[in-house]
Chain A
Amino acid sequence: DAGVTQSPTHLIKTRGQQVTLRCSPKSGHDTVSWYQQALGQGPQFIFQYYEEEERQRGNFPDRFSGHQFPNYSSELNVNALLLGDSALYLCASSLYTFTGELFFGEGSRLTVL
Chain B
Amino acid sequence: AQSVAQPEDQVNVAEGNPLTVKCTYSVSGNPYLFWYVQYPNRGLQFLLKYITGDNLVKGSYGFEAEFNKSQTSFHLKKPSALVSDSALYFCAVRVPSGSGGSNYKLTFGKGTLLTVNP
- Listed in ascending order, the chain A residues whose CB lies under 8 Å from chain B are 4, 31, 33, 35, 40-45, 48, 50, 55-56, 58, 90, 92, 96-107, 109
Contacts and interface: CB of A to CB of B under 8 A. Distances in A.
B49 A101 contact: yes
Contacts of A42: 90, 92, 108-111
B46 A101 contact: yes
Contacts of A101: 34, 46, 49
B43 A105 contact: yes
A98 to B, nearest CB: 8
A96 B103 CA distance: 6
Interface of B: 32, 34, 36, 41-46, 49, 51, 90, 92, 94, 97-99, 101-111
Nearest to B36: A104
Contacts of A98: 102
B106 A48 contact: no
B103 A104 contact: no
A41 B110 contact: yes
B108 A58 contact: no
A100 B105 contact: no
Contacts of A104: 36, 43-46
B32 A99 contact: yes
Contacts of A90: 43-44
Contacts of A45: 105-107
B30 to A, nearest CB: 11
A29 to B, nearest CB: 12
B111 A103 contact: no
A48 B103 contact: yes
